[in-house]
């Protein structure tokens, strides 16, 4: 029986490796014997000189053999007990085995000599194989990218689909000027081309294992049919817009059904993106109609990705329609079609984003969490409509949008929802923007600052009541934005000549400022319990803002009551006197709180003393020059009496505290001291 030359080469190579392994083991045994002899000599010399011997040098144990990484794991031979200094005989070398090599009958392994002698010579001459066989362990060569499965085919499919769609667009839109076909011929040629492409896609899909070519043909056919319907509806007006929208939705749904059946996100994306890019070419100046087509496409394409993770399709469905909705809102004149389309788009995208959470109540959605940002993107056209539409329509749009996103934020708080983790924050941002825009669409410009403050008060109160960090993060910038218009009242706070310009709306704004700062202190205390400094800063700001509503309110009440020759100025003076008294009363309250409680006692005392000092500075540097008559007298008398009461109360409280400490530190003696010897 003849042995194949390839098998004979492997056997010769195995025999060579066995001989080399036996020689290596013999060399290791000789080194181990030499180390043993040196150790015996060192121990003998150390014993003669009375010095402790050094620790033995680790040497390979002859009975167990050296550790070779290529040797197979197996039971080690029993160790032998050899006197120190003796030269042990190496055991028989284990049979080497090539790890991962094919199992084949091999020659018996060469035995190592019993004494430390040179390695045994090979059993016979080693004959090299006529041709070195390819090693089975050699890594496979890297395949070039252009030869990988599907890369070039996908590239050609995408480019081919784009070129074909451009040709269809020219056929439907530009051929009108050339006069090559009549209207009916153009429409029929587009339909025939679409049917031919879909039929070719079905044939290619059955005959080829790779679906790439069929996907490109099918995507082009569906998009061509969709554009053909758009031309029939837009250019020739043969069918009404409602029927055209229905047919377009059915065609797009059919293409996506094919994509879902073939499990191809590429086909679905080509269908959607092809229509989104080329629909404006055929639609021309009919912005609203093209936008309605794209909205229909967005709605009809949603079922294609249910149960699948197709994030690219989700982006392709939403982003182009959102951009076109912005154009539609900006292009509408007297109608509200663009606004209606924007609101429907925002609500639909939000509902489909919430659908996995509502359906599973915590189950992971098929799409990744960052796609929750599409709910914010889809809301932008509706926000634009709320800022540009007539007031009644804008109020309705903004209220519906804010309510929908507040509900979404509530649904996003379901415990254990791992997907769409930022939906709550994004929905709160949209709701805040909608409410701020709603505040600007009030009955007049004079009510805008007050409306902004009311919205900010609501957000900060919600953050404090719910103890929600997400609500607090949104409420903070809303509060800062609402406080900016209130700075225009500072001249009326310090100048008597500005008192005539103050009205009731300004007083309400000042009250909202104080309430907003007080609620901000409560919210910061609830959201940041480990850092009380932030809430204390908000409390200080609220206390320092108290003169604003008092002075503005005094100006309005003085003008209403007709005080003196200049009613508004008289009310201004009364308001400042009352503000000084209120500051002093609050300072007294803080001192009483600090002396009566151990918790935050030092902070309360320091805050009371600081507020009292601020009131005194106001008395001496502002009230003394700005006030006159009875307001000046009342402010100084009341402030002085309060300061005296504060001083007396602080002194008595401090004395009581000292006596209490002395009673604890110096207890009464229990009896005469015990005599000592």
381 phi and psi angles, rounded to 5 deg: -60, -35
Both tokens of 222, joined, read 């569906």
Both tokens of 51, joined, read 């010095």
Whole-angstrom distance between the N-terminal and C-terminal Cα of the chain? 121
CB 482 within 8 A of CB 453: yes
Q: For position 459, what pLDDT does the model report?
A: 94
Closest of 539, 543, 615, 614 to residue 577, by C-alpha:
615
CB 139 within 8 A of CB 248: no
Q: For position 240, what pLDDT does the model report?
A: 82
Cα 137 to chain centroid, rounded: 46
CB 157 within 8 A of CB 197: no
Q: For position 381, what pLDDT does the model report?
A: 94
The residue written with tokens 């008559």 in the block is: 629
CB 221 within 8 A of CB 268: no
Q: Mind listing the pLDDT tens digit for each residue in 608-634?
A: 888 888 888 887 778 777 776 677 777
**Number of C-alpha atoms within 13 angstroms, CB side, residue 375?**
31
Rounded Cα gap, residues 520 and 485, in angstroms:
18
CB 26 within 8 A of CB 112: yes
Question: In three state form, how does the secondary structure of 168-199 look?
Answer: HHHHHHHHHHHCCCCHHHHHHHHHHHHHHHHH
Extract the residue ranges of the chain whose pLDDT is less than 70: 1-9, 47-158, 160-162, 164-165, 168-169, 171-182, 208-213, 281-284, 357-370, 412-421, 563-565, 596-601, 628-629, 650, 653-654, 656-658, 660-677
- DSSP per position, 607-644: HHHHHHHHHHHHIIIIIHHH--SHHHHHHHHHHHHHHH
In sign, the C-alpha dihedral spanning 461, 464, 465, 470 is: positive
Helices (H), 208-310: 212-234, 241-261, 265-283, 287-300
Closest of 481, 433, 432 to residue 458, by C-alpha:
432
Angle, CA 305 vertex, CA 300 and CA 311 arms, to 5°: 115
- The SS3 call for residue 358 is helix
Q: For position 177, what pLDDT does the model report?
A: 64
Neighbours of 60 (CB within 10 A): 15
The H or E element spanning position 456 is helix 448-466
Q: Where are the domains of the chain?
A: 1-71+83-117, 156-300, 455-545, 557-653
Neighbours of 615 (CB within 10 A): 24
Neighbours of 498 (CB within 10 A): 18
Q: How buried is residue 48: exposed, middle or buried, by Cβ count under 10 Å (0-12/13-18/19+)?
A: exposed
Q: For position 151, what pLDDT does the model report?
A: 60
Rounded Cα gap, residues 159 and 43, in angstroms:
85
CB 325 within 8 A of CB 341: yes
Q: For position 128, what pLDDT does the model report?
A: 44
341 phi and psi angles, rounded to 5 deg: -65, -40
Where b means 16+ CB within 10 Å and e means fewer, 527-560 reads beeeeeeebbebbebbbebbbbbbbbbbbbbbbe
Angle, CA 617 vertex, CA 616 and CA 619 arms, to 5°: 65
CB 432 within 8 A of CB 478: yes
- The full length of the chain comes to 677
């Amino acid at each position: 029986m003849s042995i194949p030359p390839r098998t004979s080469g492997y056997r010769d190579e195995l025999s060579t490796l066995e001989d080399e392994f036996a020689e290596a083991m013999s060399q290791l045994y000789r080194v181990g014997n030499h180390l043993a002899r040196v150790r015996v000599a060192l121990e003998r010399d150390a014993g003669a000189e009375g010095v402790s011997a050094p620790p033995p040098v680790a040497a390979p144990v002859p009975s167990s053999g050296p550790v070779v990484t290529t040797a197979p794991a197996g039971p080690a031979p029993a160790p032998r007990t050899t006197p120190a200094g003796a030269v042990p005989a190496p055991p028989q070398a284990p049979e080497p085995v090539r790890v991962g090599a094919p199992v084949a009958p091999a020659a018996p392994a060469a035995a190592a000599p019993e004494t430390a002698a040179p390695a045994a010579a090979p059993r016979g001459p080693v004959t090299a194989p006529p041709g070195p066989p390819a090693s089975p362990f050699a890594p496979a060569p890297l395949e070039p990218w252009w030869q990988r499965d599907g890369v070039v085919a996908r590239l050609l499919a995408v480019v081919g689909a784009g070129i074909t769609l451009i040709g269809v667009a020219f056929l439907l839109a530009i051929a009108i000027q050339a006069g090559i076909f009549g209207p009916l011929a153009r429409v029929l040629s587009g339909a025939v081309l679409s049917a031919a492409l879909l039929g070719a896609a079905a044939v290619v899909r059955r005959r080829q294992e790779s679906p790439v070519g069929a996907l490109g043909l099918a995507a082009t056919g569906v998009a061509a049919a969709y554009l053909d319907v758009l031309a029939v509806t837009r250019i020739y007006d043969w069918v009404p817009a409602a029927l055209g929208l229905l047919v377009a939705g059915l065609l797009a749904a059919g293409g996506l059904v094919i994509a879902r059946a073939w499990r191809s996100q590429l086909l679905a994306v080509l269908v959607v993106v092809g229509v989104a890019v080329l629909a404006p070419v055929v639609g021309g100046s009919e912005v609203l109609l093209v936008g309605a087509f794209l909205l229909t496409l967005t709605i009809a394409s949603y079922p294609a990705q249910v149960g699948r993770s197709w994030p690219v399709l989700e982006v392709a469905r939403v982003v182009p329609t959102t951009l076109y909705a912005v154009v539609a809102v900006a292009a509408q004149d007297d109608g509200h079609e663009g606004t209606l389309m924007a609101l429907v788009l925002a609500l639909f995208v939000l509902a489909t984003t919430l659908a996995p959470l509502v359906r599973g109540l915590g189950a992971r959605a098929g799409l990744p969490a960052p796609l929750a940002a599409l709910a914010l993107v889809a809301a932008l056209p509706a926000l634009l409509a709320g800022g540009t539409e007539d007031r009644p329509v804008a109020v309705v749009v903004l209220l519906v949008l804010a309510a929908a996103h507040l509900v979404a934020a509530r649904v996003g708080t379901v415990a254990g929802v791992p997907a769409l983790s930022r939906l709550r924050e994004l929905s709160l941002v949209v709701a805040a923007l909608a409410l701020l825009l709603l505040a600007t669409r009030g009955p007049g410009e004079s009510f805008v600052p007050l409306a902004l403050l009311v919205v900010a008060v609501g957000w900060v109160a919600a953050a404090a009541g719910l103890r929600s960090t997400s609500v607090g993060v949104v409420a903070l910038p809303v509060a800062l934005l609402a406080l900016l218009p209130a700075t225009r009242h500072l001249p009326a706070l310090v100048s008597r000549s500005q008192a005539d310009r103050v009205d009731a709306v300004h007083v309400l704004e000042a009250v909202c400022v104080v309430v907003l700062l007080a609620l901000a202190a409560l919210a910061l205390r609830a959201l940041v319990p480990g850092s009380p400094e932030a809430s204390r800063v908000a409390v200080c700001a609220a206390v320092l803002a108290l003169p604003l509503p008092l002075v503005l309110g005094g100006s309005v009440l003085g003008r209403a009551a007709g005080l003196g020759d200049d009613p508004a100025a008289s009310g201004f003076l009364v308001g400042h006197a009352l503000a000084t008294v209120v500051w002093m009363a609050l300072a007294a309250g803080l001192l009483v709180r600090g002396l009566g409680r151990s918790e935050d006692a030092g902070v309360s005392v320091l805050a009371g003393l600081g507020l009292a000092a601020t009131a005194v500075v106001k008395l001496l540097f502002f009230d003394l020059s700005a006030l006159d008559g009875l307001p000046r007298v009342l402010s100084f008398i009341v402030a002085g009496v309060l300061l005296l009461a504060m001083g007396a109360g602080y002194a008595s409280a401090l004395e009581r505290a000292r006596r209490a400490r002395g009673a604890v530190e110096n207890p009464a003696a229990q009896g005469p001291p015990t005599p000592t010897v």
